[in-house]
Structure 1
Amino acid sequence: MIFGINKSIFRRILFSNMFTVLLGLCVVGLMISFLTKDYIIDSKKDELLRKAKRVNVAVQNVRLPDDGLKDLLLFFDQSYDTRIWLFDLQGKIVATSAKDEVYIGKSVDASIVAKVSKGENTVMNMEFEGLKEQMLSVVVPWGKDNQLYGGIVLHAPVTGMNETITNLRETILWGTLFGLLLSAVIASYLSWTISQPLQKIDRAAAKIGMGDYSERIRIQSKDEIGELASTINHMVEKLEIVDQEKKKLEHIRQDFLANVSHELRTPLTAMQGFLEALQDGLIDEAAKPRYYGIIYNETLHMNRLVDDIMDLIKLENNEIMLSRSPVDMETLLSQIAFKFEPEATDKQTEIELAIAGPLPKAYADANRMEQICNNLIKNAIKFTENGRITIGAAYEQPYIHLTLSDTGIGISTDDQEMIWERFFKVDRGRSKKNQGTGLGLAIVRELVALHEGKIEVRSEIDKGTTFDVWIPTVETVQK
């Protein structure tokens, strides 16, 4: 595939460059040839006209040919390297610069005589008997002032012009060959500079297609290919992130299914065992209420688990809409402390409030705010015995800062990063008496984020844990 790319690009660039050079040089060569030929002919015509007028000046006082006129014409013939003829008004040649005088007595064309009679100059290619070469000829009037005796003809061979055109064409041909060679070299270089980066891109794309997102394309050029490589690298980075997120989500999904199965299996197994014992009549009448109570508690645990899962799914799918309004946090915290006081007392734990000064109203959903506090206090009571739980609140513009501290077992540094995950339990290796779904803190984090707040945790093993929650105030939202 790589070779095919290289070969195709090379052929395209080579043939296109060579065709362009060949076509351009051919067009230019033809134009130069024709323009040069026209230029040489025009120059020759102008030169011959000037010479013919000079000859007229020299012979304008001579009306009849004599030996002196012939010598004068011979002198101009040798000086100008041209053949010179004189003809009268009837078109008959009366004198020439040739010694043999072969054309004396012959006539020129009547149209030429007519133009000369009008005082006009004439330029043409003429062929005369006895001359093998094509001659460029000019005709000017012969006379003085208003007296016209006839015409003067000067003609010169065009062999020099043909040789010049031939040499020019040969030069253009060699230039064309050199241009073709140069275009081949340039095409090879351009093909290499294009195909090499494309080969790198092709190799990288093959690895990326196989799932290797660590591959990067190293191209330093700033042209379109360099931009393409940069775009592909950026795309690979995003694909790598998406792939990692996908693997993470798949891992979370598997953990979720495993944890849900475990959390459901445990109460179901207990309920099944107790129901089978009751059905088989293995339980005394006096003990039945206790077994019914256990079964009832297990159903409550399963119901809480299902409710928590539904809440978390709705939060993550943005299906829960808050009904936010001004909330008196001091009153809310007092009610929550009073509600959980009996449960804390059973564990010889004291709950105290620490409200710092008057608090502004929080802009929150009162029911969801109560759910946040309930989950945090339940965790504190669960892991605190013979200790103290402190519920604090203070105004830290633009938030109300809630703190919930306990003197319980604490959370290790490694676990502090995991407590927000679904089904994660700090006491998973300690005691089974503290039942829970492991979804409480995950729900708390989602609800706090939904309130546009933030939450943090501070903890030390065997010294206790503090959760800090910041909730926006009404004044902040109104601004």
Structure 2
Amino acid sequence: MNFRIKLILSYIGVILAVIIFSFIFSSIFVRQIFVRIIIGNWPHEIDLLLKPQVTMFLNTLRMTLVWSGVMSIFIGIGVALIVSNLTVRPLKEMQKLAKRISQGDYSARIGLKSRDEIGELASSLNYMAEQLTDIENMRKKLVQNVSHDLRTPLTSIKGYLELLEDESFTEEEKIKSINTIQKEVERMETIVKEITRLSIIDGKNYQLDIEKLDLNSVVKESIPIINIEAEKKNIQIQIDSLQKEIFIMGDKEKVKEVIINLLSNAIKFTNEGFIKISTSQNKNYVSLIIEDTGIGIDPEDMPHIFERFYRGEKSRSKNSSGLGIGLSIVKELLYMQNGKIEVESKKNKGSKFTVKFPVAD
């Protein structure tokens, strides 16, 4: 039995119950009133005279109630059909939406904007469809980026391995080929690490160990980890205003990961010049500022740099590895610690990332 039939039967059941109750109550009530008022204390002759009239009146009243009940049933059925149509139609639309989503059509939406419970359910389904659309887009970007970034180093490795089999290759050329293979392996290792980090952050059991931290100390611990990358490109990391203790509330390892990711990103897109790190504090926030003299960010890329798997054209150069999730991970880690990040950039002049943490009590 479908929902519409149940709804109609429930309406009819209510109407029948009201009619039966009204019929019984009216018959008893009217009979008693007539007996008390018209017949009760009158002489026996008048009683005999009026009794047929009272009986006729009661029969007429009874038939009136019966026909009224029949009409009420038909009216009730009509009302039930109208109400059921108004109720069932959006439910059927939701059923169709759920079926389309299950078939992979995440663009489906329900055009229902009522403010009742059904409208709220429709809004929830639309929101779910939007989230699934975003997830599907991210999945496609992930597959595209992984296939692109793995194909290139694998092709390079395969080519150099074939060249190493050539006996005419000199020892110097072999060493150069092996070094190139090593770099390509490191690129693939970076991709695997980023996917692993992403799966950990998305895990339900991902937890933070929040404690009171001296941000300047965490910065000083992070720099040696990333300084090797900077030295390979002859880029100097300048430290400014890190002498005074500045306390924040955060997870030490995750704060360190934020710093390393931002420094690594700055090194990746800085070909010459320097990277400057500084901290400051006001009444509400502790700020960590990382500036570079790199290639900057295109204005068209700026709104998307914190999106997962988004990479501007510069990021697809051969010298750049990764899936385009570094900055998105930074933003998510900061969000978990009640922090936020801002960015300023000018093309070919560099970028400035400002991370803000709440001041520790």
TM-score of the alignment, normalized to the shorter chain, above 0.5: yes
Query: Shift in Å at residue 184 of structure 1?
Result: 4.6
Query: Shift in Å at residue 394 of structure 1?
Result: 0.2
1:161-310 equivalent positions in 2, closer than 5 A? 161-211=47-97, 213-216=109-112, 230-281=116-167, 283-310=169-196
- Decide whether the 8 Å contact of 1:37 with 1:165 is kept in 2: no
| Cα 1:336–1:208 shift into 2, 3 Å | closer
1:54-69 equivalent positions in 2, closer than 5 A? none
Instruction: Name the residue aligned to 2:344.
Output: 458
Show CA shifts across 1:258-297 (max 9, x none). Answer: 3223222222221122112223546333310011111111
Match of 2:304, SS? coil
Query: Shift in Å at residue 302 of structure 1?
Result: 1.7
- Decide whether the 8 Å contact of 2:343 with 2:352 is kept in 1: yes
| Cα 1:259–1:319 shift into 2, 3 Å | farther
Query: Shift in Å at residue 442 of structure 1?
Result: 2.4
Match of 2:354, SS? strand
Partners of 2:197 and 2:4 lie apart in 1 by 58
Instruction: Name the residue aligned to 1:63.
Output: none
Show CA shifts across 1:388-412 (max 9, x none). Answer: 4321210123432011122322223
**What is the letter of the counterpart of residue 28 of structure 1?**
F
| Cα 1:191–1:396 shift into 2, 3 Å | farther
Partners of 2:12 and 2:325 lie apart in 1 by 66
Show CA shifts across 1:217-240 (max 9, x none). Answer: 75xxxxxxxxxx811110111111
Query: Shift in Å at residue 352 of structure 1?
Result: 2.9
Q: Does 1:447 align with 2:328?
A: no
| Cα 1:199–1:395 shift into 2, 3 Å | same
Instruction: Name the residue aligned to 2:285.
Output: 399
Query: Shift in Å at residue 17 of structure 1?
Result: 4.7
Match of 2:355, SS? strand
- Decide whether the 8 Å contact of 1:399 with 1:470 is kept in 2: yes
**What is the letter of the counterpart of residue 393 of structure 1?**
T
For structure 2, list consecutive stretches of 5 or more residues without a partner in the other structure: 98-107
| Cα 1:468–1:278 shift into 2, 3 Å | same
Partners of 2:343 and 2:358 lie apart in 1 by 19
1:42-441 equivalent positions in 2, closer than 5 A? 43-44=42-43, 158-211=44-97, 213-216=109-112, 230-281=116-167, 283-334=169-220, 344=230, 349-355=235-241, 358-428=244-314, 431-441=317-327
Query: Shift in Å at residue 331 of structure 1?
Result: 4.3
Partners of 1:364 and 1:26 lie apart in 2 by 79
**What is the letter of the counterpart of residue 215 of structure 1?**
G
* More helix as a share of residues: 2
Partners of 2:172 and 2:350 lie apart in 1 by 42
| Cα 1:167–1:38 shift into 2, 3 Å | closer
Match of 1:287, SS? helix
Query: Shift in Å at residue 187 of structure 1?
Result: 4.8
| Cα 1:262–1:319 shift into 2, 3 Å | farther
Aligned-residue identity in percent: 23
| Cα 1:353–1:204 shift into 2, 3 Å | same
1:469 to 346, 355, 358: 355
Instruction: Name the residue aligned to 1:28.
Output: 29
Partners of 1:326 and 1:11 lie apart in 2 by 67
**What is the letter of the counterpart of residue 268 of structure 1?**
L
Partners of 1:455 and 1:193 lie apart in 2 by 58
For structure 1, list consecutive stretches of 5 or more residues without a partner in the other structure: 45-157, 219-228
**What is the letter of the counterpart of residue 313 of structure 1?**
S
Show CA shifts across 1:196-254 (max 9, x none). Answer: 23211112211221116423275xxxxxxxxxx81111011111111211222122123
Query: Shift in Å at residue 308 of structure 1?
Result: 2.1
Q: Alignment RMSD, CA only?
A: 3.4
- Decide whether the 8 Å contact of 2:8 with 2:84 is kept in 1: no
Match of 1:459, SS? strand
Match of 2:129, SS? helix
Partners of 1:427 and 1:359 lie apart in 2 by 40
- Decide whether the 8 Å contact of 1:9 with 1:195 is kept in 2: no
| Cα 1:193–1:268 shift into 2, 3 Å | same
| Cα 1:352–1:427 shift into 2, 3 Å | farther
Q: Bigger shift: 333-342 or 177-186?
A: 333-342
Match of 2:164, SS? helix
- Decide whether the 8 Å contact of 2:236 with 2:273 is kept in 1: yes
Partners of 2:329 and 2:283 lie apart in 1 by 25
Number of equivalences: 350
Larger of the two Rg values belongs to structure = 1
**What is the letter of the counterpart of residue 210 of structure 1?**
K
Match of 1:394, SS? strand
| Cα 1:17–1:445 shift into 2, 3 Å | closer
**What is the letter of the counterpart of residue 112 of structure 2?**
R
Partners of 2:4 and 2:166 lie apart in 1 by 80
Instruction: Name the residue aligned to 2:103.
Output: none
